[in-house]
Amino acid sequence: MPRFDLERRRLLLAAAGAGAFALGAPPAWPQASAEKSPLAAETPIPRRVLFGDPERSVVRISPDGRHVAFLAPVDGVLNAWVGPIDDPGAARPLTRVADRNLGPWLVWLHNNRHLVYFREVGGDENWQAHRVDVETGASIPLTPGPGVKSYLHQQSYHFPDELLIAHNERDKRFFDIYRINVATGQSTLLQANNGFVGFFTDPQFRVRFATRITADGGWEYLEHRADGDWHSFAKIGMSDAMATEPVEFSDDGKELYWLDSRGRDTAAAVAQDLATGATRVLAKDAKADMVEMVLEPGSYRPIASTCVRARTNWHVIDRAYAEDFANLAQLCDGDLNYVGLSDDRQQAIAYLERDAGSGRFFHYDRVAKKGRLLFKSRSALDEVPLVPLEPVVVRARDGLDLVCYLSRPRNAAPGKRLPMVLCVHGGPWSRDYWGFHNTHQWLANRGYAALSVNYRGSTGFGKNFVNAANLEWAGRMHDDLMDAVDWAIGAGIAEEKRVGIFGESYGGYATLVGLTFTPEKFACGVDLFGISNLLTFLRAVPDYWKPWQTLWKVRMGDYTAEAGQKFLQERSPLKHVERIVRPLLIGQGANDVRVKPAESEQIVAAMQARGLPVTYVYYSDEGHGFSRPENRRSFTAVAEMFLATHLGGRFEPIGDDFAGSTIAFKAGRDLIPGLG
């Protein structure tokens, strides 16, 4: 796909303030009595295997089909590599960044000479674009830094040496579009932004639309016409806003392709005739949204579209590619998740995801109709005893179907109830997918059942499912999680008194909600950078997310009105902190711009003021998510001991898993036995 600004349409969550406090040592929680794990005799799968960086990721084919670029470690840090597609073992590193992994984007220029990558500092999400010459290794920055966020907006074969990149150096609230010559680094302002959420361009690098959020939380696309003014082209109402967006113009300018839920529940792949305005459906599914399109190089016309309910399902649009997609699906026992084509359309890279083994990258020759293995993503996974990720559907109390994923210990006795951990995804406007889930594998290997729930508001299941979450934070969204837990108990999977809750971002908020709104339901909770106060969270968003605030009024609650403020306070765990009666572990990155440290610190302080024990772990070099593998390992080691203490599973000794980490205990280290 040549379109790269979709991230801007999907950034819907933000952050809150900062603070510091004195830390005491409250009395420890009582430890739960639990049976010894049935897996105690087995050697645990090392955390280094489950939570380490992949050996190969973001594998991309060069436009001429002769080379592949990918991310792989150099001295333990993910860097950009390049090698011949016919001999990937001869690949060499192009970068030698030593502080932290490169961002998960690699982009070939159509000149086949340059590769673009992105770097940030300490998890601050201010991604700076760089290019590297694949022949000489010379690298230069393409965008300003530090403190400036940039993203790749578009590329096109018409301009082999150029890209459109957006960044917010001029005004932190808005992203201007720059036309950049990647060979020289020369940057020219294409479109200044003085109030829009963003812009939409075509393969000729023309600005076609400006986008803004309407008062009802929907979208309006404004067309830039010859008179120099912006004129309304399309209005997307709030009910369709999460699932409807333009994807690309055809190269001949005759059609515009959409993912579009207007007039239906699930988004379809749609083509719009720009001369007449008429639309035609290219692909659709009754139970899941079309969420991506693969576009043909050169024509930019859709080849195929994909949707995901429980597993990934491809709908071939251009029948000339039907045999190819059938062949790709047979390359291994996984789900086809990515296809990238060379400019001549004869060579492809495909990635197939697996749940109980390493994902695999293949080179596919469209002439010979054959594929061959290039890389395993994580070869060590094929050497350890992983378990399946089982899709299950749970019926919520109001009739909604919740697509969930369940993992169980490999040697668990049939019919025996297990301690269970409910894993809550972030967003909330995202979802859990089938595939390798390191948290599930870790928990199952330690003797727990693990259950992930696509609660209402999760994307990909139709607009009615998303909109059912409006104003339901700590309401029906939480009910969905409780219904899934009750299902697991009723099905004889989970032991009622030994259920924990574990989540990141919105999932961290859900953990805090679980311990305050249903205080007896869970035996313990693990909150990673979760929101404790919805009002402070909404008031402290980064400048570049402020144009989105109208949407949050509709989805979460009107934080500008007195009634809305009261509503949001009532739905905030901090308001009900005195209800906490179960053990809590909190993890936080110092540089988190979405959920700032104040969100964790204010609930820790409130608990300490009431004499409630809490363990608080802090990382000085992380943001919204723990990027450095040393930090991931150290936090997982702490969480493992915490869960073993309160749910009774087994654990791998800490060993040297704190080595190289910036882990700091700001409260409650003594509450978790075995940390030393």
Q: Which run of H or E residues covers position 509?
A: helix 506-517
3-state secondary structure of 649: coil
| Model pLDDT, residue 374 | 98
DSSP, residue by residue, 615-626: EEEEETT-BSB-
Given 432, 592, 621, 657, which residue is catalytic?
A: 592
Q: How far, in whole angstroms, is CA 242 from its chain's centroid?
A: 16
pLDDT of 17 reads 25
Distance CA 588, CA 169 (A): 28
For the chain, list the domains and their CATH numbers.
13-48+385-531+573-671 (3.40.50.1820), 56-193 (2.120.10.30)
pLDDT tens digits for range 604-634: 999 999 999 999 999 999 999 999 999 999 9
Annotated active-site residue in 37, 150, 250, 505: 505
At residue 43, the pLDDT reads: 87
- The pLDDT, as a whole number, for residue 39 is 53
Whose tokens are 């919105």? That residue is: 506
Task: List, for the chain, all residue ranges whose pLDDT scores fall below the cut of 70.
Answer: 1-41
CA angle 74–80–81, rounded 5-degree value: 85
Q: What pLDDT, in 10s, does the model give residues 94-151? A: 999 999 999 999 999 999 999 999 999 999 999 999 999 999 999 999 999 999 999 9
Token pair for residue 171?
């005004």
Under 8 Å between Cβ of 128 and 117: no
pLDDT at 226: 86
Q: Is 505 a catalytic residue?
A: yes
Measured in whole angstroms, how far is the alpha carbon of residue 176 from the centre of its chain?
25
Q: Catalytic one among 363, 624, 627, 661?
A: 624
Helices 629-647 + 438-445 axis angle, to 10: 40
User: Is 624 an annotated catalytic residue?
Assistant: yes
Rounded Cα–Cα distance for residues 670 and 472 (Å): 37
Contacts by 485-494, CB closer than 8 A, 24 or more apart? 485/420, 485/422, 485/451, 485/521, 487/394, 487/395, 488/406, 488/420, 488/449, 488/451, 492/415, 492/417, 493/406, 493/408, 493/417, 493/418, 493/420, 493/449, 494/417, 494/418, 494/419, 494/420, 494/449, 494/451
Token pair 């290997």: residue: 445
Predicted confidence at residue 228, as pLDDT, reads 85
Q: What tokens appear for 57 in the block? A: 């990721």
